[in-house]
Structure formats: structure tokens, C-alpha cells
Amino acid sequence: MSPVSRPVFLPHPLLPDADWADRFTLRLPAGGLTARHAARLTLERPPLRIRAFLVSRNRLVAPFGWKKTPAEDGATIGGIPVISAGDDRVVLGADGRHLDFRIVIDVRQDRPRGQTLSFMTLLRRRSLPARLYLAAVLPFHKYVLRGLLAGIDRPGPRERKRTGEAYGDGDAALTLTRRGKG
């Protein structure tokens, strides 16, 4: 399945002053995926091409004073501070000098044997550099999101070795049916 762009209505309660947002949804054929696990699958093991792009982006913006904001309690997923986390929704993000952002990952059971994953980005641009930054990365944003969401359908090496088609997190394993496979 391919991610589908969905509208986001602003203001949004998770970042009331947001001035930019997008959301992509992905229908999943199997149940049992939690938002925490979806966040880890998408953000902690992106495809190599996406990882390379993000490393390059981080190097380019570092001289301008843009750096990762550490989480107050140290909790992160994919290096992004966790604001709140539950089985149905994970909210990640930080407030910075130039930009406030939230990444909201929702997982909803919506069919007898399926779920919908929603990946939403909310931004509050605080400065001209933030507006220029968004203008520069926006052409790549959709590409990056599609690559991150591909992680849901792509087991990592540890999961392939342990369970074949399963996605594992600690002792629990979640098996997803992949297209063309039973």
C-alpha cells in the first residue's frame, strides 16, 4: 500500500500556533501494531537513502544554529523527543528558536482485520530562516515520509532472522501480511 495525503485542519490542539501541516495515512492489512511500535519502525530504522538525506540535511543546517533538542526526560524515538506516548498515539517534537514541530503517529483499528496508520507533521515557523528552511526541504518532505512509512512493510535484519515475516519489539512479535505473500 502507498501512503495517501490527507488534509489537516489548523489550528490543531497539539500545536495550536502551527502554520503548516501535512498528514499521510497508510492502510495496514494486519492488526496489533501500536503507535509506539509504528514510531520505532518508521523513525529508528529508515531506509539507507533516507538516512543519508537526513544526515546531509543535519550537517547543512548545523552552522545556522539548528540542532537536535534533547528531551527533558531523555525519552526519544529516532532521536526525537517524546512528548507523549500511548498504544494509539505517539507525539514527538520540540520547540526551538526558529521552529516548533510535532510529529503525531496514530494507529487506528478500522476494519475487521486491518488498521490505518496516520503520520502527521505540524510546524510553527518562528522566523524567516524557518520559512526558508521549509521552502528548501519541502520538495523532499513527501519523498522522506514515503521512505519512512516504507519501514512498516520492511522487516529489519533482526526481525527477518528471528521470525521470517515478523516485526519484533522485545519479546513481542507482530506479523504483517505482505503483498503477494500469505
* Class at the top of the CATH hierarchy for domain 4-154: alpha beta
Supply the pLDDT for residue 139. Answer: 85
Q: Per-residue pLDDT for 110 more than 60?
A: yes
Cα–Cα nearest to 93, from 115, 119, 121: 121
Instruction: Calculate mean pLDDT across residues 135-150.
Output: 85
Domain ranges of the chain: 4-154
Query: Model pTM?
Result: 0.78
Q: Per-residue pLDDT for 142 more than 60?
A: yes
- Select the more confidently predicted residue: 92 or 32: 92
Compute the distance between CA of residue 16 and CA of residue 71 in angstroms, rounded to an integer: 21
- Select the more confidently predicted residue: 67 or 139: 139
> Percent helix, strand, coil in the chain (nearest 5)?
30, 35, 35
